[in-house]
Amino acid sequence: MADFGADIELEGFRAEAKAWLDANFPKSLSGKGAVAMSERQGQSPDLATWRKAIGEKGWATPTWPAQYGGGGLSPAQARVLTQEMAKAGAFNPLLFGMGITMIGPTILDYGTEAQKAQHIPPIVRGQVQWCVGYSEPNAGSDLASLQTKAVESADGWVINGQKTWTSGAQYSDWCGLLTRTDPTAKKHDGISFMLVDMHQPGIETRPIALIAGASPFCETFFTDAVAPKDALLGQLNVGWTVGKRLLQHERASQTGAIGGGRQAPLSQLAKRYVEVEANGRIADPDLRTRLVRHEMDARVHSLTLARVMAESKEANGATNGASVLKNSATHVAQTRAELTLEIMGSQGLGWDGEAFSRDEIETVRGWLSGKAMSIYGGSLEIQNNIISKRILGLPDNTQST
């Protein structure tokens, strides 16, 4: 039997969400999430205003506990909010970082009450930037081989080592760091997870240049960097478990599980660049077929995402299904980028110059940077291994015989 009371309550919240967005979301940013955030370091006044408004409201983290500044909304209310944001062309500006998508949820999972009270409110309000210190020059896919070490001292921990591919490290205030605290243990043991202040002389960041232009990646060097005793997240020498949990949250964030705004259908974009018949239909039948196939893949991904999110609520958090969705999200996004450049023709070759619009240039650069989707957050091959072993139950063919 339908719960009409709940339906009425949700419609009341829908009206509240719409009214708040009308009053607080700058119309100049409508539908421009990716472009606006691509210039994050030189953000516009409207973007700064929007970041502040949604952070203070708590709706950048709609289902996080209100006691830490989150929205305190139910999952149903959060879905309504996402729908209304999509209608307004709005986006969540705090998703473009690791505080909300990775570190915050992990602190909520494993943090002490003092750690939650210290770190969650500024994450919710977008007042701090976080990075994650995982990969090393000799510990990429084989992350458990990491050698960055933390040695206990009278005051806390002394950290030495090197990390690489630390996204946003050059702008970050804090780092969620995997470090070895027991060098005598097996490689998956003896690892701890620490919350480290980046504003200290013992930490140096060096940006890594990428083909797409601006790069979020850095090498990060720790030379007698320090962290207090209470920097430990979770138990000592059990950081591998904490680290895996963070990766589950990361993969969930890369599947579209946390909404960031709605993209216009490619068919609309195509009609600006390619031949259209008198009835408004795209003239090229092959292009029409591939656009429809892409829209079907995107719809299937969206429906599967909704199912996995429902299942994850019963499992109290992210599940291995995120590995399936991470790969399908990559396929959908990279296919869309390839089709977009094909549709744009010669305008899809722009890198700079007055012959190309800002949107066209950002589309080309986005196509290049999007190639990394099948690598970062666990490569496509790693996700396939997880799917085969943990979901399909197939034997592990990496074990020696």
Same domain, 33 and 150: no
- d(CA 282, CA 290) in angstroms, rounded, equals 12
Please check whether residues 346 and 301 belong to one and the same domain. yes
The domain in which residue 182 lies consists of 130-237
Query: Has residue 246 been placed in a domain?
Result: no
CATH no. for residue 351? 1.20.140.10
Residue 335 located in a structural domain: yes
Model confidence at 60, pLDDT cuts 50, 70, 90, reads very high
- Exposed e or buried b for every residue in 278-313, given b needs 16+ CB within 10 A? eeeebeeeebeebbeebeeebeebeebbeebbeebe
Averaged pLDDT for residues 387-395: 84
| Domains of the chain: total | 3
| Residue 191 maps to a domain | yes
Report the candidate in 299, 300, 316, 239 with the shortest Cα–Cα distance to residue 265: 299
What is the pTM for the complete model shown?
0.75
Confirm whether 169 is domain-assigned.
Answer: yes
Cite the active site residues: 250
Q: Are 219 and 289 members of one domain?
A: no
Q: Give a yes or no: residue 254 inside a domain.
A: no
Banded pLDDT at 62 (limits 50, 70, 90): very high
Q: What is the pLDDT of residue 109?
A: 94
Statement to judge: residues 294 and 226 lie in one domain? no
The answer to whether residue 398 is domain-embedded is: no
**Can you tell me the distance from the alpha carbon of 8 to that of 304, in angstroms, rounded to the nearest whole number?**
27
CATH number at residue 57: 1.10.540
Residues 272, 222 share a domain? no
HSE, side-chain direction, 13 A CA sphere, residue 267: 15
pLDDT in tens, 174-219: 999 999 999 999 989 999 999 999 999 999 999 998 776 667 789 9
- Residue 219 sits in a domain whose CATH number is 2.40.110.10
Residues 287 and 343 in one domain: yes
Both 218 and 322 in one domain: the answer is: no
**Does some domain include residue 256?**
no
| 115 occurs within a structural domain | no
Where are the alpha helices (H) located in 95-212, listed in sequence order? 98, 104-110, 113-124
Q: How far is CA 331 from the centre of its chain?
A: 16
